[in-house]
Each structure stands twice: as C-alpha cells, then as structure tokens.
Amino acid sequence: MVENKVVFITGAASGIGYEIGSAFAKQGAKVALSDINEEKVKEAADQLKGEGYDCMGLVCDVTKEEQIQNAIDQTVEKYGRLDVLINNAGLQHVASIEEFPTEKFELITKIMLVAPFMATKHVFPIMKKQGFGRIINMASINGLIGFAGKSAYNSAKHGVIGLTKVTALEGAEDGITVNAVCPGYVDTPLVRNQLEDLAKNRDVSLEKVLEEVIYPLVPQKRLLSVQEIADYTLFLASNQAKGVTGQAVVIDGGYTTQ
Ligand code: NAD
C-alpha cells in the first residue's frame, strides 16, 4: 500500500508516532522519524534500522519553523521526495481555565495547531510538484467534543480539524489529500501514566480506574491499541484512500456515539 513512499512524522520518538513509523517501515516505506527529544528519537530510529528498515531520526522542535523546514529538507535530500506528512507531536496539560497558565496555552496550541500549519506550508510545494501527497493530522475526540480542564488541548484539536478542511480544499486539484484522525483513549505510556496517577490518588487499582472511569465512557469497554491508529493512517496514506479528504475520521470504540 505504501511501499517506497517517503513519510515524515513529528513527535515520533514514542507512543502513536513511533508506532506509525514502525507500521510504515514494515510496509516498505522510507521513514523519517522526528522529535524534540534527541536521545529518544535516535533510539527509535536505531531500533527500526536494527530491524532492517530504511529509516532516519531527526531532531525537530515543531515550535520552531526553521527546524521544521530543516527536517523536511533533510528528508527530501536523503530520499528524493516526500509523500506523507504526519503531524503527530502533542502535549497535554489539564487545569481549570482560571488556573491555566497562558504560556502553556500558547505552547500547546503552537505544538498542535501552528506546527501542523507550518509543516503543511513547507510540504505543499513539494507535494504539488509530485502531484501526490498525503497529510494526516493527529487530532482527537477532543477536537469534536469538549472536555473540562483541557482548554488548550481542545482548542488546538478543534483548530487542527479546521486546518485539515482548508488545506484539503487547497490541495484537492494537486493529488494532495488531508485528513485528521480522531482517536479516543489509546493505550500509550502517556495514558497509562495518567490512569496510574488517578489510581494512586484514589488509592485503587488501575483496573478499577479503567472499570469505573474509562469503560463507562467507551461502549467497547477497552483502550484502543496504537496499532489500530497506525493501521488507519496506513489506509489514509494509500492510493485506495485517494477520495478521502478533508475528513475527521474517528476511532474511539464508540465514545462519541453516545
Ligand atoms: P506521546 O507523549 O507518547 O508522544 C508525543 C510525542 O511528541 C513525544 O515523543 C514528544 O517528545 C513529542 N513532542 C512534544 N513536544 C514536541 C515539540 N515541541 N516538538 C516535537 N516533538 C514534540 O503521546 P501519544 O499519546 O503518542 O500522542 C501522539 C498524538 O496523538 C498527540 O498529538 C496526541 O494528542 C494524539 N492523541 C493521543 C491519544 C491517546 O490516547 N494517547 C488520543 C487522541 C489523540
């Protein structure tokens, strides 16, 4: 489906981003993993290279436009083209609106809304020239419904769905599709840590938190796996999905249906 395609992923040193890189590599794609965390992104790229895949690790803080441009340039320099951009880097902070530090709000929206805009701006000319491009923005069910305490995360995720629609329109005649993926609760170290903290605060087991807090919200009564999210991005990047553009596709075990 994506053999020989070149994919550039932000925030790819861990969690969903790494899993997407691994899934593309296993399908024969050439993968540029990028992340702000130098040590972890190097480890992640070494891991895939050690498994025999064609991969490079790049340090890229997505709040810095010149670093995004530089990482994209390095990818094109090594692989000759860029077919798939995955805007995945993310950061979360939970606090009431009165207690939410403005700098934190600005940082979170910069990482999850301004950065996808900047990366899209820089890959568009490359993709237009190729007559082919796939841009996938990692949104969330937080981009569709409100969650108290997540003003920055929610605003950024709602915003990136808007950006997805606009850029889908702008790329439509040039073979570029742009879609947003909206996962519910995914079983990542980040989510596990949050649930473990909650369990500690309540002095109960992790299983109890899942049963009492999470599962009542999720009709399928489970956390999603990172592989499920990666598989969906593989589909969106493929030729089979050429008619899918401007969409916010939801993978949430039924969360937003109730
Ligand atoms: P994660 O924390 O494992 O991964 C996020 C990555 O982004 C990290 O490697 C981190 O170093 C990187 N990052 C943070 N700031 C950065 C910056 N300024 N520049 C470059 N990289 C930066 O989290 P994850 O759960 O894998 O989340 C990945 C994406 O999926 C995020 O956009 C998140 O909002 C979204 N998402 C996650 C879930 C979930 O349940 N885990 C659900 C819906 C959406």
Residue 58's domain is classified under what CATH number? Answer: 3.40.50.720
Q: Is 10 in the pocket of ligand 1 (CB under 6 A)?
A: yes
Closest ligand 1 atom to 92 CA: 34
Q: Domains in the chain: how many in total?
A: 1
Phi/psi at 178 (5° precision): -135, 125
Spatial distance between the Cα atoms of 252 and 258, rounded to a whole number of angstroms = 11
Can you give the pLDDT at residue 214? 94
What stretch of H or E contains 85?
strand 84-87
pTM score, two decimals?
Answer: 0.98
For residue 185, indicate whether it is catalytic: no
Q: Count CA atoms closer than 13 A to 82's CA, side-chain side.
A: 25
Q: Would you state the pLDDT for residue 148?
A: 96
**Ligand 1: distance of its center to the CA of 201 in Å?**
24
Residue 103 within any structural domain of the chain: yes
Centre of ligand 1 from the C-alpha of residue 177, in Å? 22
* 216 found inside a domain: no
The answer to the question of residue 190 being in a domain is no
Kindly state whether residue 191 falls inside one of the protein's structural domains: no
Host domain of residue 83: 6-184+225-251
In the block, which residue shows the tokens 């895949």? 53
CA distance 19 to 23: 6
Q: Ligand 1: which atom is nearest the Cα of residue 224?
A: 40
CB of 11 sitting under 6 A from ligand 1? yes
Instruction: Identify residue 161 by its one-letter amino acid code.
Output: I
**Partners of 138 in the β-ladder:** 181
The C-alpha atoms of residue 141 and residue 172 are separated, in whole angstroms, by: 25
Give the integer Cα–Cα distance in Å for 226 and 15: 7
Q: How far apart are CA 14 and CA 239, in angstroms?
A: 27
What pLDDT, on a 0 to 100 scale, did the predictor assign at position 189? 85
Which residues of the chain have a pLDDT value below 50? none
Q: How far is the CA of 76 from the centre of ligand 1 (A)?
A: 24
Interval between CA 152 and ligand 1 midpoint (Å): 14
- Is 193 inside a domain boundary? no
Indicate whether 203 belongs to any domain: no
35 CB under 6 A from ligand 1? yes
Q: Is 255 in the pocket of ligand 1 (CB under 6 A)?
A: no
Minimal-distance CA residue to ligand 1 atom 31: 90
